[in-house]
A = this chain, B = another copy of it.
């Protein structure tokens, strides 16, 4: 049996009833049981300002500590204006600083983008991937996860009712679990 792995979950939408969060929850439910998920909220992080680096806001310190403790990161993002939400990008920026102390560095990652429309958040998904290159996170390449028409996939209780999507997300979660074992820093193996 695989050893337990903690996966930080970063959800890009701040809405309480976010469909992006529902997709993240569905992935968690369908994933192999040795993956333990920890959604880390990003809504209370102040906008990153380099002038605060010598005396960082307590919310930044707590956020960085919690990401640092994770073995891997799952990013679940909606698309705002063909990119990631400002709040999600801000969380990336906060975690990346100060220079040389990024909490993202080297952690295996996966990206799922979610949208009510047909394109499935492609613009957000790939903008995020460009930042993850710089942040040196080995990102799961395949299967890509663009979840479109997202409102139609859940019932009124937030349960995933689309069987094809469930099968896809189960495979996505399993492949991500394998990817974590392959790419986790040697110290964590």
Given A47-B43, A81-B131, A134-B81, are A92 and B96 also a contact pair (CB < 8 Å)? Answer: no
Closest 10 interchain pairs by CB?
A86-B90, A86-B89, A47-B87, A14-B49, A81-B131, A82-B134, A80-B93, A81-B134, A15-B50, A89-B89
Query: Which residues from B are CB-within-8-Å of A86?
Result: 47-48, 86-94
**CB-based contact A15/B51 at 8 Å:** yes
Query: Which residues from B are CB-within-8-Å of A81?
Result: 89, 92-93, 96, 131, 134-135
Query: In the complex, what's the smallest C-beta–C-beta distance from A151 to chain B, in angstroms?
Result: 14
Query: In the complex, what's the smallest C-beta–C-beta distance from A78 to chain B, in angstroms?
Result: 9
Q: Does A84 contact B (CB under 8 A)?
A: yes
Q: Does A130 contact B (CB under 8 A)?
A: yes
Q: Does A123 contact B (CB under 8 A)?
A: yes
Q: Which residue of B lies closest to A78 (CB)?
A: B50
Q: Give CA–CA (A42, B51) in the complex, Å.
A: 15
The copy count of this chain in the complex is 2
Q: Does A133 contact B (CB under 8 A)?
A: yes
**CB-based contact B89/A48 at 8 Å:** no
Interface 0/1 of A55-66, CB less than 8 Å to B:
000000000000
Q: Does A83 contact B (CB under 8 A)?
A: yes
**CB-based contact B123/A14 at 8 Å:** no
Q: Give CA–CA (A40, B96) in the complex, Å.
A: 26
Q: Does A101 contact B (CB under 8 A)?
A: no
Query: In the complex, what's the smallest C-beta–C-beta distance from A12 to chain B, in angstroms?
Result: 11
**CB-based contact A130/B83 at 8 Å:** yes
